């Protein structure tokens, strides 16, 4: 990997110290500058010439890429947001566009609530710091989902979680008792938090003979399946899920299958459907069904 490829791999911007640690000499950097491959951003930082990257604007602000962008890079649950997220000190520039000297069509979200981290080798906040910003940036259920995801992946320990929440405003302390490292996706977290808040009893990852494992079983027979977009985007996944639904219906189970968009963008409306089914008692076997030994 040459020096330009390395710089692009770091988000189109790299510190001189990082380039040196990767084996590039000061002479290598000087040659790249003279050839027009790299350009200076600020003291000690270089970027790929002509590159347009939120990381470059972050460095010019004296900040870093943070929050949702860092979470996504680590494959930790985060809401979808096209805007770059940057952490910067309270006394840094007012906007990355002004700092970068270029017009940005995508507004940048700048986080200043936590103390800015000293710039190290890269232009990205450490994951625990980015999580702190993300907790305050997202709706509360999604914030808990991000923490669940980091715990589930082993990127965060319970001790680190306590340290992460400690400097945040007091209202976020309750999240410590809400997290569950067993939740593999934000979809599961939202379902768990909502069902518990509504005092609806449920079980997760239940095996139903003939149909396989279901995400959530409410009462005797109400199955709640949550389709994450990463795992249900192929035709064979779609067909497998519909075959499972057909088997469950043949066994007299009631199935509610929600898409990624329904959970992330329309969860309240979707959950009201589940709540109404429970209110009508459709999560329990009827006398006829019990006599016919359904669910035995």
By the 10 Å C-beta count (0-12 exposed, 13-18 middle, 19+ buried), 61 is classed as buried
What number is the average pLDDT over the span 134-141? 94
Pairwise CA distance, residues 220 & 283, whole Å:
6
Order of strands across the sheet with 109-111?
A: 64-65, 85-87, 109-111
| 97 Cβ contact partners less than 8 Å away, ≥ 6 residues apart | 57, 103, 104, 108
Q: What pLDDT score does 30 carry?
A: 93
Pairwise CA distance, residues 59 & 219, whole Å:
53
φ, ψ of residue 52 in degrees (nearest 5): -115, 110
Pairing of strands 254-258, 222-226: parallel
Q: Which has more confidence, 103 or 285?
A: 285
In tens, the pLDDT along 39-68 reads 999 989 999 998 888 888 889 888 899 999
Q: What pLDDT score does 185 carry?
A: 82
Reference 16, options 124, 121, 125; nearest CA is 121
Q: What pLDDT score does 254 carry?
A: 94
Please, what is the average pLDDT of the chain? 87
Reference 7, options 115, 130, 40; nearest CA is 40
φ, ψ of residue 161 in degrees (nearest 5): -60, -45
In tens, the pLDDT along 174-194 reads 999 999 988 878 888 988 999
Return the percentage of the chain with pLDDT > 90, whole number.
57
Q: What pLDDT score does 275 carry?
A: 94
What number is the average pLDDT over the span 262-287? 90
Q: What pLDDT score does 96 carry?
A: 46
Position 233 confidence tier, pLDDT thresholds 50, 70, 90? low
Q: What pLDDT score does 98 carry?
A: 40
Cβ–Cβ under 8 Å, residues 201 and 157 = no
pTM of the shown model: 0.79
pLDDT exceeds 50 at position 232: no
What number is the average pLDDT over the span 263-289? 89
Pairwise CA distance, residues 278 & 273, whole Å:
9
φ, ψ of residue 50 in degrees (nearest 5): 75, 0
Pairwise CA distance, residues 250 & 149, whole Å:
34
Pairwise CA distance, residues 122 & 64, whole Å:
8
Measured from the Cβ of residue 202, the count of other Cβ atoms closer than 10 Å reads 19
Position 230 confidence tier, pLDDT thresholds 50, 70, 90? low
What number is the average pLDDT over the span 17-30? 92
Pairwise CA distance, residues 242 & 221, whole Å:
17
What number is the average pLDDT over the span 120-135? 91
Torsion 67-155-185-169 (CA) sign: negative
Q: What share of the chain is helix, strand, coil (3-state, %, to 5)?
A: 45, 15, 40
């Amino acid at each position: 990997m040459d020096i330009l490829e390395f710089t692009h791999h770091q988000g189109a911007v790299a510190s001189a110290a990082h380039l040196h640690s990767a084996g590039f000499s000061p002479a290598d950097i000087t040659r790249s500058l003279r050839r027009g491959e790299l350009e200076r951003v600020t003291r000690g930082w270089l970027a790929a010439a002509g590159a347009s990257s939120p990381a470059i604007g972050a460095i010019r602000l004296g900040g870093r890429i943070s929050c949702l962008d860092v979470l996504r890079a680590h494959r930790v649950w985060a809401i979808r947001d096209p805007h770059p997220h940057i952490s910067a000190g309270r006394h840094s520039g007012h906007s990355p566009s002004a700092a970068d000297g270029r017009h940005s069509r995508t507004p940048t979200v700048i986080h200043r609530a936590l103390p800015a981290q000293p710039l190290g080798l890269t232009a990205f906040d450490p994951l625990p710091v980015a999580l702190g910003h993300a907790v305050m940036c997202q709706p509360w259920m999604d914030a808990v989902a991000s923490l669940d995801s980091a715990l589930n992946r082993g990127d965060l320990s319970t001790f680190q979680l306590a340290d992460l929440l400690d400097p945040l405003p007091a209202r976020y302390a309750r999240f410590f008792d809400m997290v569950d490292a067993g939740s593999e996706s934000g979809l599961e977290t939202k379902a768990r938090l909502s069902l518990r808040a509504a005092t609806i009893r449920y079980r997760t990852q239940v095996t139903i003979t003939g149909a396989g494992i279901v995400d959530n079983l409410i009462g005797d027979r109400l199955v709640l399946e949550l389709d994450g977009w990463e795992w249900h985007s192929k035709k064979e996944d779609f067909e497998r899920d519909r075959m499972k639904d057909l088997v469950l219906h043949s066994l007299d189970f009631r199935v509610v299958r929600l898409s990624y968009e329904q959970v992330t963008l329309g969860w309240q409306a979707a959950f009201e459907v589940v709540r109404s089914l429970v209110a009508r008692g459709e999560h329990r076997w009827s006398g006829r069904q019990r006599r016919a030994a359904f669910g035995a």
